[in-house]
Amino acid sequence: MKYWFIPAAVALFAFLLYSNHHLTVSHFTLPCSEDIRIVQLSDLHWGLFGRDNCRLVEKVREQKPDLVCITGDLLDKRLPNRRRTLSLLRQLVAICPCYYVRGNHEVYLGDRDYLEEVRKTGTVYLENEMVSFRGITVIGLDDASVCGSRQFDAQKAFIDEQLDALAPKRDDYIVLLSHQPQHIDSYSRYDIELVLCGHVHGGQFRLPWIGGLYGPQQGILPRYSAGMHEMNGTTMILSRGLGNSLFPFRLNNFPEIVVIDLEKEKEA
């Protein structure tokens, strides 16, 4: 009996491996003027799902998306595997159009050559820009950390300045890609129907009936760690992400692919 901890440790290790490599798919449906299926990917960092991310690519392909949206931290500043990331993007673009905004790790990396290589894959990299896609407008907001500060007010000022220039110019359905969710109050000041975010990794450890344990810039028990949130007519969908960064494990928090079905309302 004195060696009971050995099978317990093995079981815990097996559970951690499963928790960090079992891909899940979360579905959301929202009304829109068009029928469009969006797959959102976020926060892969140094994650790998099968050889050359074949399991991740196949899971995305199974969803039959019209559009893939990547909301930042596709690589990690500590181990930036550009080759793996660019290979993933080439595979995703072969499925459907792919839009990508930076997260804080791409900002910290500061590699403009990498961003040019991203564009060469056929991926649409958006840096405070907007594009039209089948009757909707996609706005890609650069990560707020580009302002040079981690302070909430400084980042909010950056976001407000960019959205003042971008969001009011469109009357159609707007999908905003922005890495950080804690600025939902800024996003909801504008006529933006849908915001896609990441950054929080689902709180890393998720507690039953409570939610995520920790969120960057939010602290312990963050208000925004996963799922759907609404404010002033704006819906924010927050991905739990795919990988990990500084802390290498997640618990009770499977890697997540998000599927959003924008559905045209049926005529009576």
* Greater pLDDT, 249 or 96: 96
Give the rounded percent of residues in the chain with a pLDDT score beyond 70: 91
Which one-letter amino acid corresponds to residue 260? Answer: I
The pLDDT value recorded for residue 150 is: 86
Q: What is the DSSP string of 63-124?
A: T--SEEEEES-SS-SSS--HHHHHHHHHHHHTTS-EEEE--HHHHHHT-HHHHHHHHHTT-E
pLDDT band at 1 (very low <50, low <70, confident <90, very high): low
The pLDDT value recorded for residue 113 is: 94
pLDDT band at 251 (very low <50, low <70, confident <90, very high): confident
Q: What is the DSSP string of 146-163?
A: GGS---HHHHHHHHHHHH
The pLDDT value recorded for residue 119 is: 96
Which among 177, 159, 147 is positioned nearest to 42, based on CA atoms? 177
pLDDT band at 39 (very low <50, low <70, confident <90, very high): very high
Tens digit of pLDDT for each residue in 104-136? Answer: 999 999 999 999 999 999 999 999 999 999 999
Vertex 92: Cα angle to 107 and 38 (nearest 5): 85
Give the rounded percent of residues in the chain with a pLDDT score beyond 90: 70
Which among 120, 126, 130 is positioned nearest to 99, based on CA atoms? 126
Which among 13, 9, 2 is positioned nearest to 251, based on CA atoms? 13
Q: Which domains does the chain have, with CATH numbers?
A: 23-264 (3.60.21.10)
The SS3 of residue 180 is coil
Helix or strand run (H / E) with residue 38: strand 36-41
Tens digit of pLDDT for each residue in 196-233? Answer: 999 999 988 888 888 888 888 888 999 999 999 999 99
- Dihedral of alpha carbons 122, 128, 132, 133, sign: positive
Tens digit of pLDDT for each residue in 41-77? Answer: 999 998 899 999 999 999 999 999 999 999 999 999 8
Tens digit of pLDDT for each residue in 158-201? Answer: 999 999 999 876 678 999 999 999 999 999 999 899 999 999 99
